[in-house]
């Protein structure tokens, strides 16, 4: 055989569908020992793991007990036989066993008819003996990458089918950067472990929380969501733990708190990083004891809740700065799930955009059938400081503005910032606020705390404006 030629590193796709080894694993079947040795000498230096067998029976046994990324098989195993029937039979068995596993057949020089029959039966490619090393390596590299991509797509489809349960918003995630998120949801949702969801504002933390709840054993009970970032310190305890009549001036009746309301189910505390230090100790006590005490009451009530919390803050840094209790963080992040920003999962932008387009076209009864290619290009090039929430708001506006059968770039309003900034004197106060908030969020890559500080607002005030303007 020709000597091995050095090639570049074999590309391996990251993700759940990747085989147990990071190196591609190849099974080679041929009745001639020198052929098998030549295959090993060629492939092993290129980073492949290679198993070799000398008969179709041994190949079937290997395939039944191990996983492979590709299979190289000869078509003739009996001396003086050129019909290829043994190899074709093995090929049919492999395809029947796993139709996604790529099989490359090896044929004698000039036996084109046999190669064509093998391709008809499901072989992905063929190579003629004696082979060219570069061609064999190129075929294997291509087929392994396609196989792993197909495995990854099938795993994601299966996970999305699992996540596509009744009673929750559709969870769209196909980008490779979302694979760890899907894995964590499917793995930890059935447990009662506390979950901390991190990520920039608008990345979909509440949807993940609701998905976890629906997939949990508590799905039949209520999920209670609380935006702790919007709670003033004076009403924090009353909102979360409830109060009794007469506990304070406006407490005219008893009131049940959010924790008690979630008893037996799940409580979702959004923007947990905003909880003041004095209230953090009270929250920690509830998590440690499993008991709440209404404001103004001396009686404790035992509760059974699963806690899911979310933040766009760096809580580790906050702990080091003395702004967040480290013991509370330990209670919150039994499992931590980080959501990438939309700019880090751009592969999802087209499918998310079409999902929102379909939703709002139906809601507003507009006959819009898609996105113009230039509009889609605008969506892909935009930085999305407000992440998925901003994308949804953009598509809702586009549906209302569109006057044709397809969304055009001008309908998206993504270019309005520049033109509006040049004509501030003609804008309303709300429009100016929207522009300034967008620019601040872009400047600080979606970090609400830094944007609020730059704008001279409290976090709560900025959140209220962002909710108001759909950012």
Written as one string, the DSSP assignment of 341-378 is PGGG-GGGHHHHHHHHHHHHHHHTT----EE-HHHHHH
Q: What is the mean pLDDT of residues 154-159?
A: 54
Separation CA 118–CA 112 (nearest Å): 10
pLDDT of residue 82: 67
Who wins on pLDDT, 97 or 420? Answer: 97
- The strand pairing partners of 295, in sequence order, are 243
Separation CA 327–CA 337 (nearest Å): 19
pLDDT of residue 7: 28
pLDDT of residue 155: 57
Contact 48, 24 (CB under 8 A): yes
Does pLDDT of 454 surpass 90?
no
Q: Which two three-digit tokens encode residue 64?
A: 């039944």
Q: Which of 71, 79, 68 is nearest to 105 (CA)?
A: 71
User: What CATH number was assigned to the domain covering residues 172-338?
Assistant: 3.40.50.300
Q: Which two three-digit tokens encode residue 218?
A: 């508590």
Q: How far is CA 65 from CA 48, 58, 59, 94, 102, in A?
A: 19, 11, 10, 13, 17
Does pLDDT of 15 surpass 90?
no
Contacts 24+ apart (CB under 8 A), 237-245: 237/279, 237/282, 237/295, 238/295, 240/283, 241/282, 241/286, 241/292, 241/293, 241/294, 241/295, 242/292, 242/294, 242/295, 243/294, 243/295, 243/296, 243/297, 244/294, 244/295, 244/296, 244/297, 245/296
SS3 27: strand
Q: How far is CA 262 from CA 266, 282, 292, 305, in A?
A: 6, 18, 12, 6
- Residue 420's pLDDT band (cuts 50, 70, 90): very low
Does pLDDT of 335 surpass 60?
yes
- Give the HSE-up count for residue 360: Cα atoms under 13 Å, Cβ half-sphere: 19
Contact 218, 306 (CB under 8 A): yes
pLDDT of residue 10: 25
Q: Which of 316, 334, 336 is nearest to 326 (CA)?
A: 316
The matching CATH number, chosen from 1.10.8.60, 1.10.3720.10, 3.30.70.1230, 3.30.200.20, for 345-469 is 1.10.8.60
pLDDT of residue 65: 79
Q: Which of 466, 467, 411 is nearest to 440 (CA)?
A: 466
- Look up the pTM and report it: 0.57
Separation CA 101–CA 124 (nearest Å): 9
Q: Which two three-digit tokens encode residue 296?
A: 């103004």
- Residue 44's pLDDT band (cuts 50, 70, 90): very high
Mean pLDDT of the chain: 83
361-407 residue pLDDT tens:
999 899 998 898 888 889 998 989 889 999 999 999 999 989 999 99
Q: What is the mean pLDDT of residues 260-276?
A: 91
Who wins on pLDDT, 246 or 319? Answer: 319
Q: Confirm or reject CATH 3.40.718.10 for domain 25-153, answering yes or no.
A: no
pLDDT of residue 265: 93
Do the strands 70-74 and 103-108 form a parallel or antiparallel pair, or are they unpaired? parallel
Does pLDDT of 11 surpass 90?
no
pLDDT of residue 153: 63
Among all chains, which residue has been given the structure tokens 């996604």? Answer: 100
216-233 residue pLDDT tens:
989 889 899 999 877 877
287-315 residue pLDDT tens:
999 999 888 887 888 999 999 999 998 99
Cα–Cα–Cα angle for 237, 242, 247, rounded to 5 degrees:
85
Separation CA 348–CA 176 (nearest Å): 10
Q: What is the mean pLDDT of residues 324-349?
A: 93
pLDDT of residue 140: 93
Does pLDDT of 471 surpass 80?
no
Q: Which of 283, 290, 268 is nearest to 327 (CA)?
A: 283
For 132, which DSSP code?
Answer: P
pLDDT of residue 356: 92
Does pLDDT of 81 surpass 80?
no
130-144 residue pLDDT tens:
899 999 999 999 889
Sequence ranges of the domains in the chain:
25-153, 172-338, 345-469
Can 25-153 and 345-469 be said to share one CATH topology? no
167-196 residue pLDDT tens:
455 678 889 999 999 989 988 998 889 999
Separation CA 80–CA 150 (nearest Å): 39
Does pLDDT of 5 surpass 80?
no
- Give the HSE-up count for residue 348: Cα atoms under 13 Å, Cβ half-sphere: 25
pLDDT of residue 40: 94
């Amino acid at each position: 055989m020709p000597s091995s030629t050095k090639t570049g590193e074999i590309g391996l796709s990251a993700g759940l569908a990747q085989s147990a080894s990071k190196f591609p694993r190849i099974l080679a079947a041929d009745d001639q020992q020198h052929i098998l040795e030549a295959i090993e000498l060629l492939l092993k230096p290129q980073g492949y793991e290679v198993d070799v067998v000398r008969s179709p029976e041994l190949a079937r046994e290997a395939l039944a007990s191990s996983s492979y990324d590709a299979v190289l098989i000869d078509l003739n195993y009996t001396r003086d036989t050129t019909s290829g029937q043994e190899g074709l039979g093995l090929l049919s068995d492999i395809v029947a066993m796993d139709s996604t596993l790529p099989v490359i057949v090896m044929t004698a020089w000039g036996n084109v008819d046999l190669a064509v029959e093998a391709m008809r039966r499901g072989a992905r490619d063929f190579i003629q003996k004696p082979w060219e090393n570069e061609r064999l390596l190129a075929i294997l590299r291509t087929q392994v990458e396609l196989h792993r991509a197909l495995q990854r797509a099938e795993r994601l489809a299966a996970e999305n089918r699992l996540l596509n349960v009744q009673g929750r918003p559709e969870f769209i995630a196909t980008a490779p950067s979302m694979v760890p998120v899907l894995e964590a949801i499917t793995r930890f949702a059935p447990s009662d472990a506390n979950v901390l969801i991190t990520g920039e504002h608008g990345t979909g933390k509440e949807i993940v929380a609701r998905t976890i709840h629906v997939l949990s054993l508590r799905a039949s009970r209520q999920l209670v969501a609380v935006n702790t970032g919007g709670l003033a310190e004076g009403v924090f305890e009353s909102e979360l733990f409830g109060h009794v009549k007469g506990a304070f001036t406006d407490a005219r009746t008893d009131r049940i708190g959010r924790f008690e309301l979630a008893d037996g189910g799940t409580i979702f505390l959004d923007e947990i990083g905003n909880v003041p230090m004095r209230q953090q100790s009270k929250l920690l006590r509830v998590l440690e004891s499993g008991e709440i005490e209404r404001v103004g009451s001396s009686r404790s009530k035992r509760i059974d809740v699963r806690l899911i919390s979310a933040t766009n803050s760096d809580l580790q840094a906050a702990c080091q700065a003395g702004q967040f209790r480290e013991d509370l963080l330990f209670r919150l992040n039994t499992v931590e799930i980080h959501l990438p920003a939309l700019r880090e999962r751009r592969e999802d932008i087209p499918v998310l955009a079409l999902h929102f387009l379909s939703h709002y076209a139906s809601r507003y009864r507009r006959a819009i059938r898609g996105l113009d290619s230039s509009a889609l290009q605008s969506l892909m090039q935009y930085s999305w400081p407000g992440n998925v929430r901003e994308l949804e708001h953009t598509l809702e506006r586009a549906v209302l503005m569109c006057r044709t059968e397809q969304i055009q770039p001008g309908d998206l309003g993504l270019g309005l910032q520049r033109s509006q900034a040049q004509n501030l004197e003609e804008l309303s106060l709300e429009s100016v606020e929207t522009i300034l908030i967008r620019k601040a969020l872009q400047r600080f890559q979606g970090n609400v705390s830094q944007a609020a500080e730059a704008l001279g607002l409290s976090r709560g005030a900025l959140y209220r404006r962002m909710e108001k303007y759909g950012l």
